[in-house]
Amino acid sequence: MMGADAINLLYIVSAMLFVFGLKMLSKAATARKGNLLSAVGMLLAIITALLSDNVIHWPWILVGLAAGTVIGAAAARLVAMTAMPEMVALFNGFGGVASLLVGWSEFQRMVSAGELVSTSWGSLLIIGVTVLIGGVTFTGSLVAWGKLSGTLGSKPVLYGGQRVVNGIILLIVLGALALMAFQLNLIPGLGTYSFFLILGAVSLILGILVVIPIGGGDMPVVISLLNSYSGMAACAAGFVISNNVLIVSGALVGSSGIILTNIMCKAMNRSLSNVLFSGFGAGTPAKKGAGFTGEAKPISAEDAFPILEAASNVLVVPGYGMAVAQAQHAVRELAGLLEENGAEVNFGIHPVAGRMPGHMNVLLAEANVPYEQLREMDDVNPSLDTVDVALVIGANDVVNPAARMDEGSPLYGMPVIEVDRARTVIVFKRSLNPGFAGVDNPLFFGDNTRMLFGDAKASMQALVSEFKG
């Protein structure tokens, strides 16, 4: 076993690796090294924690290590890129329930050792907060996973008096937390342990009730927020067991998640309270083509080829449909052929495109698209009038012109990539159905828009064949 000074030194080294790893994640060129650096920091923290404890049940530690290794390796290898958002949601949930179990374990230890009566209200309050945040994160993440995977409907679940019910649940949570922390036996037959169990059970219910009113179009924001919750739960768990590196790592995850959530809310021109309580997408969608005239104009790959061949400036706007079709490699190949033909090709990335933060960046990086070609929404919008062809691949809500022109649209006010200003827009889509937010898109009926119906990957491959032919 190591001394306290050695343990604290190794914890400091671990925390430094976390910080440097996060810093390196901010750039595509160093992201992989940053991820590896953070993983090394976590491994060092785990080893230090195990060697610093005098009571370690090594057989169970090894069983957990083996099980976690198998599950993690299988998830990394077998989970498709299209399922990455729901996997991230599950990981957030696992982090939350782990913190909940840490808090419960410490509370049970106090009870078994007869230390509960002499424990300060501050220590019990921290345990209660850990259980509360962990429980909300766990069930909230499960609901997010269900919405993202299609197991649950993506539309918000709203009912009369919903905010009143949530308020009552919240009051029960706060009451149970206070009664447990101060060990007040105000209700006959209910002691401190009873209030602790009530707190845990109701926090699980609260997690469900908090997420079900949120529509599918807001899931990227919810994922980043739940990620922040999981970090805060881990930080609280660190205080419970007096583990410095857990406090630091949890604080890093919690604060970075909040920062990302704030960035995404600004990108949608909405407040966090509006995302959480507005029931976005619950209303009746706007009519197709509201405020626009004309009909959708289908086009084939053969007819789209001469338009692209003559283009000197092409903007590709990817969305979740590209992930579903696994079309990123075909997109990269077509972009290369366009560049060989003399065209300038850029990729317009909306902050909330896809179903998790950075979803499109991950997909395009997998296809080896140069990072320099990935441009943010604010960078591409000013020059869209000079774009010859905008290729919209599976994106819907993030290019919807109703966000600028139709005050009756649920999307109104949300900044979008203004592809309708390009000389020609080619939309790769299976049908005219609305996107994940459930809002119809008048872009499909624009005079300069052509709809290339079908599987995005097959359509891209057909265009590649036209160029090669």
Does 177 lie in the same domain as 92? yes
Question: Got the DSSP string for 74-94?
Answer: HHHHHS-GGGHHHHHHHHHHH
What per-residue confidence (pLDDT) applies to 181? 92
Beta carbons of 385 and 424 less than 8 angstroms apart = no
Does 328 lie in the same domain as 244? no
**Which one has a higher pLDDT value, 10 or 275?**
10
What per-residue confidence (pLDDT) applies to 281? 44
Q: Which of 5, 378, 397, 420 is catalytic?
A: 397
pLDDT, one tens digit per residue, over 232-251 is 999 999 999 888 889 999 99
What's the CATH number where 384 sits? 3.40.50.1220
What per-residue confidence (pLDDT) applies to 53? 65
Does 312 lie in the same domain as 240? no
Positive/negative CA dihedral, 255, 256, 258, 263: positive
What per-residue confidence (pLDDT) applies to 437? 63
What per-residue confidence (pLDDT) applies to 294? 60
Per-residue pLDDT, averaged over 92-98, amounts to 93
- pLDDT band at residue 464 using 50, 70 and 90 as cut-offs: very high
- Does 11 map to a domain? no
Does 167 lie in the same domain as 115? yes
- Does 62 map to a domain? no
Does 388 lie in the same domain as 250? no
218 belongs to the catalytic site: no
pLDDT, one tens digit per residue, over 268-307 is 777 777 676 655 444 444 444 344 446 889 999 999 999 9
- Does 434 map to a domain? yes
pLDDT, one tens digit per residue, over 19-51 is 999 889 877 778 889 999 999 999 899 888 888
Q: Is the pLDDT of residue 141 over 50?
A: yes
pLDDT, one tens digit per residue, over 332-354 is 999 999 999 999 999 999 988 87
pTM as predicted:
0.79
| Separation between Cα atoms, residue 48 and residue 238, nearest integer Å | 14
- Does 134 map to a domain? yes
- Does 18 map to a domain? no
pLDDT, one tens digit per residue, over 444-462 is 998 899 999 999 999 999 9
Q: Is 407 helix (H, G, I), strand (E, B) or coil?
A: coil
Q: Domain boundary residue among 215, 243, 277?
A: 277
What per-residue confidence (pLDDT) applies to 189? 77
Average confidence score pLDDT of the chain: 86
Does 190 lie in the same domain as 311? no
Does 252 lie in the same domain as 318? no
pLDDT, one tens digit per residue, over 107-124 is 999 999 898 888 899 999
What per-residue confidence (pLDDT) applies to 289? 38
Q: Is the pLDDT of residue 140 over 80?
A: yes
Q: Domain boundary residue among 261, 277, 293?
A: 277
Does 428 lie in the same domain as 379? yes
Does 359 lie in the same domain as 271? no
Name the packing angle between helices 4-24 and 31-52 (round to 10°): 160
Domain that holds residue 429: 301-468
pLDDT, one tens digit per residue, over 191-248 is 899 999 999 999 999 999 988 888 766 777 888 889 999 999 999 999 998 888 899 9
What per-residue confidence (pLDDT) applies to 220? 79
Q: Residues of the chain with pLDDT > 70: what percent?
A: 93
- Does 203 map to a domain? yes
Does 375 lie in the same domain as 311? yes
**Which one has a higher pLDDT value, 283 or 61?**
61
- Does 42 map to a domain? no
Number of helices and strands in the chain (H, E):
17, 6
pLDDT, one tens digit per residue, over 399-445 is 999 888 887 777 778 889 999 999 999 999 988 877 666 678 889 99
Does 188 lie in the same domain as 336? no
Name the packing angle between helices 84-112 and 219-240 (round to 10°): 20
Question: Got the DSSP string for 3-56?
Answer: -HHHHHHHHHHHHHHHHHHHHHTTSGGGHHHHHHHHHHHHHHHHHHHHHH-S--
Does 212 lie in the same domain as 248? yes
Strand order through the sheet with 449-453: 374-376, 344-349, 313-318, 389-393, 424-429, 449-453
- Does 57 map to a domain? no
What per-residue confidence (pLDDT) applies to 279? 52
Total tally of structural domains belonging to the chain: 2
Which residues have CB under 8 Å from 409's CB, separation 6+? 286, 290, 400, 402, 403, 439
